[in-house]
A = this chain, B = another copy of it.
Amino acid sequence: MSIDDLTKGAGEWLSGTGPMCDIVISSRIRLARNVVGYPFLSKTNDVQRRELERSLRGHIQDLDLPDAPFYVDVDGAGDLERRLLVERHLISRQHAEGQGSRGVAIGGRETIALMVNEEDHLRMQVLRSGLQLDELWDEVGRIDDMLGSRVEYAFHKRYGYLTACPTNVGTGIRVSVMLHLPALRMTGEMERVVRAARDMRLAIRGLFGEGTEATGDFYQVSNQTTLGRSEEDIIDDFKHIVIPKIVDYEKQARQVLLREKAVALDDKIWRAYGLLTTARSLSSDETLGLLSHLRMGVNLGRIDLLGIELVNELFVMTQPAHLQKISGSVLNGEERSAVRADYVRQRLGSDN
């Protein structure tokens, strides 16, 4: 597999098959690690970076990763390819926009992404559809062990894993769950959820991580604390308390809408379908919003003209870099909107 294959399908995390996948789009765990004998990246010179990259890439390529893993030289990749990886949630924006030798190893139908020379020497991400934190923890633990037997991680017996940014020191773990919460937004209760999450020292962000707005009713919930609590405790909190609670709120809000605002709800859902199957120009933001309503409609059984996997796939495929990759040309914003609308109509089998 290679980066060009990414536009042919949507990766496991968007398959809409995991537990609670009507509301939990995906879950993700990433570990931050640094290698003994090298300074943090902000202090390295070009030679050290290149050495680090070559060494870590070699170790990663020796690992037994599932499903045709491949390595992308992010420094040598084109701008479009880098943005494609960001839209795909396989690398962070920082990694795409960074400088110097760096890369990412992708495997297991995009469930695994190992970033080399991002903020830390190594960021190991595992990502799956629905709520699958235990499975992810097993998987990332296995990878962490395999690499840890080949390189020596910077580790302090009191503080734990040492990381470039103090917020990651300790376990170096970040657990994130991407949620689709359209009903909470419609009923105006999302604010309350955001406040409650902040009280629990959780971060709530938009679709593309730090500094992004919640578009199309998608929210990423992640832990802020990495020090003083074990990985298992953090994961347990997510699995047994945080996520079930938010999912339950969303379900209740959906039931309230169905009971008290069925016409308004169906109106939103069907209008979304109407616009997606007829528009000749669709911005990225509008598309996300419409797909969000459509997704809720499919999950609530209010519209049966398509399945959830197609809706999920459209979320990713209609992003700017994906669209340009698919159409095979660099497009300005206006052109993208037209190509996006054509693409969506075609994928939805619209005659209009």
Contacts and interface: CB of A to CB of B under 8 A. Distances in A.
A281 B276 CA distance: 18
B280 A263 contact: yes
27 contacts: A263-B280, A263-B281, A264-B280, A264-B281, A267-B279, A267-B280, A267-B281, A267-B341, A270-B278, A270-B279, A270-B280, A270-B352, A271-B274, A271-B275, A271-B278, A271-B279, A271-B280, A273-B278, A273-B352, A274-B275, A274-B276, A274-B277, A274-B278, A274-B279, A274-B352, A275-B275, A305-B352
A298 interface: no
Q: How many copies does the complex hold?
A: 2
A277 B273 CA distance: 10
Interface of A: 263-264, 266-267, 270-271, 273-281, 305, 334, 338, 341, 352
Interface centre among A266, A274, A352 (most CB of B within 10 A): A274
Nearest to A276: B274
A237 to B, nearest CB: 40
A277 to B, nearest CB: 6
Contacts of A279: 267, 270-271, 274
Contacts of A281: 263-264, 267
Contacts of A277: 274
Contacts of A341: 267
Contact of A266 (B270, B271, B280): B280
Contacts of A273: 278, 352
A173 B338 CA distance: 50
Contacts of A305: 352
A96 B42 CA distance: 79
Nearest to A274: B278
A352 B275 CA distance: 12
Nearest to A275: B274
Nearest to A282: B267
A341 B266 CA distance: 12
Contacts of A264: 280-281
Given A264-B280, A270-B352, 14 more contacts: A263-B334, A264-B281, A267-B281, A267-B341, A270-B278, A270-B279, A271-B274, A271-B279, A271-B280, A274-B274, A274-B275, A274-B276, A274-B277, A305-B352
Contacts of A275: 271, 274-275
A277 B270 CA distance: 9
A281 B277 CA distance: 18
A334 B267 CA distance: 12
A278 B338 CA distance: 22
Contacts of A271: 274-275, 278-280
Contacts of A280: 263-264, 266-267, 270-271
A283 to B, nearest CB: 11
Contacts of A352: 270, 273-274, 305
A270 B334 CA distance: 17
